[in-house]
Amino acid sequence: MFSKATEYALRATIFIAQKSSKENKISIDEISKAIDSPQSFTAKILQALTKENKVISSARGPNGGFFLTEKAKKLPVRSILQAMGEDDVLDKCVLGLKLCSETQPCPMHAQYKPIKKQLKELFVNKTIEQLASEIKDGVVFINNKK
């Protein structure tokens, strides 16, 4: 569904949201170990997320690291996709047609439409914070070690 880069972005952001605050930042080393992703590659991705649309914040030096502002925690999960430039998955035609609409639908359009709608709503309605809090509650997990 998503690229590796976006999967890492989603996992990392949710993890950071859960583990850190402006007062308690978290290092790329800890993050990549926790979500089981290649460290340098993940660093690049987080770097991008600190620029693009400020989903993630960072600080250098001792006690530095990554964190999410309280404002950022309230962003929809979709904003991660947007920052990764992969937001189009939630809109595009399942057969990859450039033009696929109500007036000119692909053969799967009618059936796929409600599914796409739910998928989009999921990413729009759920905030980063909401997902993170479930980890805190111990009901869900984000470790990738089998």
* Beta bridge pairs of residue 9: none
Q: What is the DSSP string of 75-115?
A: SBTHHHHHHTT-GGGGTS-TT--S---SSS--TTHHHHHHH
Quickly tell me which residue has 């800890």 as its tokens.
Answer: 30
Q: Which CB, 3 or 125, lies closer to DNA? A: 3
Contact 144, 35 (CB under 8 A): yes
| Cβ proximity of 75 and 49 under 8 Å | no
Specify whether the CB–CB gap between 38 and 31 falls below 8 A: no
Backbone Cα Rg of the chain: 17
Query: 23-52: which residues touch DNA (CB under 7 A)?
Result: 25-29, 37-41, 43-44, 46-47, 50-51
Contact residue for a second copy among 39, 40, 104, 124 (CB under 8 A) = 104
Which residues are bridge partners to 5 per DSSP? Answer: none
Q: Which does 41 bind (CB under 5 to 8 A by kind): a second copy, DNA, none?
A: DNA
List binders of a second copy among 68-97 (CB under 8 A): 77, 89, 92, 94-97
Site membership for DNA, residue 136 (CB under 7 A): no
**Residue 146 near a second copy by CB under 8 A:** yes
Residue numbers at the binding site for DNA (CB under 7 A): 3-5, 8, 25-29, 37-41, 43-44, 46-47, 50-51, 58-66
Residue numbers at the binding site for a second copy (CB under 8 A): 1-2, 4, 7-8, 10-11, 14, 77, 89, 92, 94-99, 104-112, 114-115, 118-119, 122, 126, 131-132, 134-135, 139-142, 144, 146
